[in-house]
Copies of this chain bind each other. A is one copy, B any other.
Amino acid sequence: MAQLTIDLNQRSYPIHIGAGLLTNTSLYAPAIAGRNVLIVTNDSIAPLYLPTVCEALTDYHVESMVLPDGEKHKTLAVLETIFDKLLQLRYDRSCTLIALGGGVIGDMTGFAAASYQRGVNFIQIPTTLLAQVDSSVGGKTGVNHPLGKNMIGAFHQPRAVIADTDTLSTLSDRQLRAGVAEVIKYGLLIDAPFDAWLREHLPAVLAREPTALSYAIERSCNVKAAIVAADEREKGQRALLNLGHTFGHAIETGMGYGRWLHGEAIAAGMCMAADLSHRIGWINAQERQACIDIIHQAGLPTKPPADISEQQFLDLMAQDKKVRDHTLHLVLLKAIGHTVLTTDFSEAQLRETIRSSYS
């Protein structure tokens, strides 16, 4: 088992990574304040892992809530049902929420924990690769709005992240690949040696070879932990974690939430970011192609869906949280392993990237 720490002073917390962690009672105890626990999960995960987690928590009063699975349910309306449940249970400020599931469950449960009685404890138990390497770490929580992804939310750090790699055995190949998209991101972003390692070991990761998979998760979390500790509320460096995300969010919003998985959308988005980075002269054609190659090698989409028109794509991007006073900021590549948040591109260049991506 590996343990990393997100270093945020009094809000610091551990990330536990390894096999067989769900049943390890000692990992939960330091993160639970009172006696009352509510586990929030979904109808795909509940039959697989809810009984196991409940068994590890026999010292507490544990209730659970099973939500429908899928990004299209990450809404204010579903969030409200969590508040209803907490109030019906008469849970007070000393309660603890546990998010058992992927990114959707983690984001929504985290936002419920941020807002219930102005903030209660929560624990992340990510059961997808994407959630283990990305969304469960760093305290970004929230829900979608019909006009934009993650538009309503809070920064609210969990008290612990328990990433049990055994839970990945039940993940579909499609879900696994979606998680690999975020793993690839960390290499491109800031960690060229990890990118090099990943190019060599991608087949082992995709085959769920335990050592390779655990290393990929740990290294990804290490990168994310360092960035979050340096910039918890995304005043600067943390924005780099959104490589490919402004393009990706446009795909997700434009297609309707849930039709493309988040990892698939940002995979295509990273290819578009590489294309634009090349178009403005920051990376050469070989580097652009290397980005596309690793994403293709992971079985991920390298182009956006043809259903979204060029103008619609631009409009959707203009709605992103990376917009400041009507100016779009994008994370682009100076090299593999070196990204910056920039406005150094023209709308014409951006249009060319979108147009050429379809062809």
A169 CB to closest chain B CB (Å) equals: 33
Contact with B along A114-151 (1 / 0, CB 8 A): 11111100000000000000000000101001011011
Q: Which residues of B contact A140 (CB under 8 A)?
A: 118
The reply to whether A152 and B83 form a contact with Cβ atoms under 8 Å apart is: yes
Stretch at the interface among A38-46, A86-94, A275-283, A334-342: A86-94
The reply to whether B324 and A117 form a contact with Cβ atoms under 8 Å apart is: no
Q: Which of B90, B94, B118, B153 contacts A155 (CB 8 A)?
A: B118
CA distance A155 to B90 in the complex (A): 21
Q: Which residues of B contact A76 (CB under 8 A)?
A: 76, 80, 83
CA distance A332 to B83 in the complex (A): 29
Main secondary structure of the interface of A (DSSP, over half): mixed
The reply to whether B34 and A118 form a contact with Cβ atoms under 8 Å apart is: no
Q: Which residues of B contact A8 (CB under 8 A)?
A: none
The reply to whether A117 and B87 form a contact with Cβ atoms under 8 Å apart is: no
The reply to whether A117 and B34 form a contact with Cβ atoms under 8 Å apart is: no
CA distance A93 to B92 in the complex (A): 32
CA distance A83 to B142 in the complex (A): 13
Q: Which residues of B contact A92 (CB under 8 A)?
A: 321, 323-326
- Chain A contributes a number of interface residues (CB within 8 A of B) equal to 39
A208 within 8 A of B: no
Q: Which residues of B contact A321 (CB under 8 A)?
A: 92-93, 117-118
The reply to whether B319 and A90 form a contact with Cβ atoms under 8 Å apart is: yes
CA distance A318 to B91 in the complex (A): 10
A36 within 8 A of B: yes
Please judge, given known A-B contacts A35-B325, A76-B80, whether A119 and B87 are in contact too, CB under 8 Å.
no
Known contacts A92-B326, A93-B321, A114-B154, then 6 further A-B pairs from the complex at CB < 8 Å, ordered by chain A residue: A36-B325, A83-B145, A87-B319, A118-B234, A119-B154, A119-B233
List 8 A-B pairs, minimum CB-CB distance, nearest first: A87-B147, A92-B323, A34-B325, A118-B153, A94-B324, A117-B321, A115-B152, A94-B325
